[in-house]
Amino acid sequence: MNDKRQLSLDSLPAETIYQILDLLHCETIFISFANVCRRFRSIIQTYHRCHIDFSSISKSNFHIICRIVRPENVVSLILSDDEKTPGQIGLFLSFLNINTFRQLRHLTLMKIAAADLMKISRRLKLCSLISFTIDTRGRHIKLPVKMITCVIEQPSLCKMNLITMGPVLDKISWPMNCPLQHLKIQTCTKKQYLTIIDRLPHLKTLDIALYDVHATVSTSSTIHRSLVTLTLNIGSMPMVRLESLLLLTPSLVHLKLVSHNGDLDLMSNSSRWEEFIQLALPELEKFEFFFSVAHRRQAFLLDIEPLIEPFRRPFWLEHKHWYVCCEQSGTSQFRTDLYTIPICVTRLKYQKLLRKVCSTVNNLPNNSTCRVSSLDVDLTGKLMPSVLKENRPNTIVLFDKVIDVNLTLHGEKILESIQFISTFIDFSRLQQISIRLITVVKSKDNTVVNFGILLEQAGNLRSLTIRRGWGWYEYAEHLNGILSMLPGQLKHLRVDIRTTEQMKEVFQQISHVSSVAYRYTGWEHLRFDDFLAWLTEKGTDFTSITIGDELHMWLGKNGRKPNEILYPNKRLKTSL
């Protein structure tokens, strides 16, 4: 009889397990995998390719990982002070010495405050960084400039993402022959864009949103021949100015243009694109665009047939295989959208009324909305009641990949709205919902019950925002009922409040959430000190950040203090 050996995960060599760990999230590694047996715990201590992502993590798991992780094994680190984990960066720096992260190659700092940025910039050795992402909080300019300037001088740096920089960019001195190959900037002026084109000769991909599109700036004579991928959010830039910028990057292989509040010139000159691409962008293989123009009145809507006709030529359909769609819709505002298929933006406003679609293909492909993950839906227009009553499924576009939805609904028509929305959104996929109910609702019970139906359908919901859309008394009554129905998997909550007592009432009903954000919308300024003192007296484990009229809180587990978490060398009963 042959000896049959049953292989187990525990018998695999360490290097094989390292390769498995490369595919797992840090929480799975340190919270689950480490607690299987002693050998796995020992292997994790020698695993030298740790990618630590602290965005959206629970406070209790954050404490555990900070105790277990060995800084010298970390190659990638993501820290965040956003509304889901406020105060995290300062807490992290109080636990671990940032200068012990000697192997760090990738660093992301989200919503970081000036004080924390100062500590990191002084202590962390940046000479080995390959990628760097920063999103600062506050109006400080000097510290972000110093940090970014230091980072871009490192010869190892390959990729950088600058978020909400604003005037910081004007102070940055880009070195000549900068080694950067991939750059993304959330907002940028035309002058800054031209400087980047001039100073970064090795750049291969560039993603930028221009916000001063009508500014008069002398066009650079520098031709950038290394850039192969360019994404531009161009606002209402006229066609002639856009062409002058694109002439500087003739080697583009992939071009993406986005204009949510565009100029009519971009659409009315659609016939010029074919000639321009052939002459100025001969190597272009992939061209994506999304142009949207708003019209004050229905009478101002464009005739979409002339807009789409140039894209039916052989150059587009047979040679390039680029397919284009044009549609018009309207509720309180009328819009014309011209875009390539699949839609190249991740967030859209859904409008059904007066919807007219014209495409260069007979039938829109099933993947035409595959990149749309966020949707804004307003069902409060004057003609919406008739649409809700009709409630016919939308057979043209199905947003089956949407995980984030922003809803504005009539409070007395929640059920009808849910039924209508479910014809084009898969509620079971939703992870984040923001909802604003307007008008005074006559029946409190029906509203709460119908809201419960919405929550029940969204079985994967992780984040919920409830905005006030009616009187404070009615809002408070409905809010208490809604909070009593929150699903157990919900981790992040945002609510509007008016008083400290209301904040306490909300807090006492959300024991299972990981973070809560209060937004004060009253007339007078509300200080949050009394509420924070009340939490401290209760022994609540939390960190918080105040931003304007908002209080963001990161909550630990009730009844458990941070020093009561598991230690890395603690022996567990479970084993293989």
Mind listing the pLDDT tens digit for each residue in 526-542? Answer: 889 999 999 999 999 99
Q: Token pair 């002398």 is at which residue?
A: 218
- Our count of domains for the chain comes to 1
> Is residue 323 in a domain?
yes
Q: Which of 556, 414, 557 is nearest to 481 (CA)?
A: 414
Mind listing the pLDDT tens digit for each residue in 73-97? Answer: 999 999 999 999 999 999 999 999 9
Question: Residue 564 pLDDT > 60, yes or no?
Answer: no
Domain extent, residue 257, equals 174-372
Alpha-carbon distance 118 to 142, whole Å?
10
Mind listing the pLDDT tens digit for each residue in 494-517? Answer: 999 999 999 999 999 998 899 999
Question: Residue 386 pLDDT > 60, yes or no?
Answer: no
Q: Token pair 């290097």 is at which residue?
A: 15
Asked if residue 326 lies in contact with residue 308, where contact means CB atoms within 8 angstroms, the answer is yes
Mind listing the pLDDT tens digit for each residue in 254-263? Answer: 999 999 877 7
Residue 321: its H or E element: none
The Cβ-side half-sphere exposure at 166, using a 13 Å CA radius, reads: 10
Question: Packing angle between helix 529-537 and helix 500-507, nearest 10 degrees?
Answer: 40
Mean pLDDT (the chain, rounded) = 85
Q: How confident is the model at residue 568 (pLDDT cuts 50, 70, 90)?
A: very low
What are the C-alpha distances in Å from 242 to residues 91, 264, 273?
A: 46, 13, 11
pLDDT score for 562:
42
Residue 76 amino acid letter: S
Question: Residue 100 pLDDT > 80, yes or no?
Answer: yes
Q: Which residues pair with 542 in a beta bridge?
A: 555
> Is residue 204 in a domain?
yes
Strands 229-233 vs 254-259: parallel, antiparallel or unpaired = parallel
Give the residue, 573 or 386, on which the prediction is more confident: 386
Give the residue, 447 or 293, on which the prediction is more confident: 293
Task: Supply φ then ψ for residue 315, to 5 degrees.
Answer: -55, -40
Mind listing the pLDDT tens digit for each residue in 182-230? Answer: 999 988 888 889 989 988 999 999 999 988 766 666 666 678 899 999 9
Most confident of 66-70, 174-178, 367-371: 66-70
> Is residue 214 in a domain?
yes
Question: Residue 572 pLDDT > 50, yes or no?
Answer: no
> Is residue 358 in a domain?
yes
Structural tokens at position 293: 């123009």
Q: How confident is the model at residue 23 (pLDDT cuts 50, 70, 90)?
A: very high
Question: Residue 563 pLDDT > 90, yes or no?
Answer: no
Asked if residue 524 lies in contact with residue 500, where contact means CB atoms within 8 angstroms, the answer is no
Q: How many helices (H) and strands (E) does the chain have?
A: 20, 22
Mind listing the pLDDT tens digit for each residue in 125-166? Answer: 888 899 999 999 877 778 888 889 899 989 999 999 999 767
Percent of the chain's residues with pLDDT above 90: 52
pLDDT score for 529:
93
Strands 542-547 vs 515-520: parallel, antiparallel or unpaired = unpaired
Asked if residue 360 lies in contact with residue 325, where contact means CB atoms within 8 angstroms, the answer is yes
Asked if residue 466 lies in contact with residue 494, where contact means CB atoms within 8 angstroms, the answer is yes
506 Rama sector, left if φ>0, alpha if ψ -120 to 50, beta otherwise: alpha
pLDDT score for 444:
58
> Is residue 123 in a domain?
no
> Is residue 4 in a domain?
no
> Is residue 289 in a domain?
yes
Question: Residue 569 pLDDT > 50, yes or no?
Answer: no
Residue 535 amino acid letter: L
Mind listing the pLDDT tens digit for each residue in 435-488? Answer: 998 865 565 567 788 888 889 999 999 999 999 876 777 788 888 888 989 999
pLDDT score for 525:
79
Q: Which of 293, 180, 168 is nearest to 234 (CA)?
A: 293
What are the C-alpha distances in Å from 499 to residues 315, 471, 524, 526, 533?
A: 62, 14, 10, 7, 15
Mind listing the pLDDT tens digit for each residue in 162-193? Answer: 997 677 888 888 888 888 999 999 888 888 89
pLDDT score for 493:
97
Q: How confident is the model at residue 5 (pLDDT cuts 50, 70, 90)?
A: low
Give the residue, 545 or 388, on which the prediction is more confident: 545
> Is residue 108 in a domain?
no
Residue 127: its H or E element: none
CB contact burial 487-503 (16+ within 10 A = b; e otherwise) = eeebbbbbbbbbebebb
Q: At a CB cut-off of 8 Å and minimum separation 6, what does 422 contact?
A: 457
Q: ∠429-431-435 over CA atoms, to 5°? A: 110
Structural tokens at position 12: 């695999």
Question: Residue 574 pLDDT > 90, yes or no?
Answer: no
Mean pLDDT of 24-33: 93
Q: At a CB cut-off of 8 Å and minimum separation 6, what does 90 contact?
A: 81, 113, 115, 116, 543
CA atoms 537, 543, 544, 545: torsion sign:
positive
SS (H, E, C) 531-573: HHHHHHHCCCCEEEEEECCEEEEEECCCCCCHHHCCCCCCCCC
Q: At a CB cut-off of 8 Å and minimum separation 6, what does 73 contact?
A: 45, 46, 47, 48, 49, 50, 103
Mean pLDDT of 371-391: 74
pLDDT score for 213:
62
Question: Residue 408 pLDDT > 50, yes or no?
Answer: yes
